[in-house]
Amino acid sequence: MNEPSPARPEPPMTEQVRRAVLAMPMARTLGLSFEHLAPGEVTLRIPVQDSFCFQPGQLQATAVFAAADFAGVAAAGTLLAPGWVNATVDGTIKLLAPARGSHLLARGRVLQAGPLLSVCAADVYAVEASGHETLCASWIGTARNLQPRKG
């Protein structure tokens, strides 16, 4: 007996966030990939590329900020209702150590999820080839939550 197949459920917000972030040209340019993605938390990996370094092997602050911003705002996005999106309103970074190594890990988390604005944070670690991690930056920011467009 053939029964109709059930309607395909909406993907979890984590998958919606993964697809949306990886579709962004800047994310692709940075070589960004997800190491961990769960409700309210994200870990992103960005390779240290010579094109983003201000001296050999040391990333310029803009790339570090971008890693943190992507991680924090993506973490906040995982807590939104299906179809909603978010965008950075502001962010502040404190650079703590040189961003040197083989790659960065940016660990984003949500500090407060609200209906209009979400406050998020990220810590960025420079990772050496040996796996040793050095905290190189801390970021805090705000994301605006945007409901789906009608029509």
> How high is the pLDDT of residue 5?
40
Q: How many whole angstroms separate alpha carbon 39 and alpha carbon 18? A: 12
Cα 88 to Cα 144: distance, rounded to the nearest angstrom: 6
Q: Report the distance separating Cα 62 and Cα 64, nearest Å.
A: 5
Higher-confidence residue of 138 and 1: namely 138
CATH fold for domain 13-145: Thiol Ester Dehydrase; Chain A (3.10.129)
**Residue 149 — pLDDT band, cuts 50, 70, 90?**
confident
Condensed to tens digits (0 to 9), the pLDDT of residues 3-33 reads 444 444 445 789 999 999 999 999 999 999 9
User: What's phi and psi for 18, nearest 5 deg?
Assistant: -55, -50
Q: Are 126 and 97 in contact (CB under 8 A)?
A: yes
User: Tens digits of per-residue pLDDT, 50-76?
Assistant: 999 999 989 999 999 999 999 999 999
45: Cα separation from own chain's centroid: 9
User: DSSP E strands: which ranges in 7-150?
Assistant: 33-38, 41-47, 53-55, 58-59, 85-95, 103-113, 117-127, 133-146
Closest among 69, 67, 77, 21 to 44, alpha carbons compared: 67
Angstrom distance (rounded) from CA 91 to CA 68: 9
84-135 tens-digit pLDDT: 999 999 999 999 999 999 999 999 999 999 999 999 999 999 999 999 999 9
Between helix 13-22 and helix 61-77 the angle, nearest 10°, is: 150
Query: What's this model's pTM, rounded to 2 decimal places?
Result: 0.90
CA distance 72 to 149: 24
pLDDT at 1 over 80: no
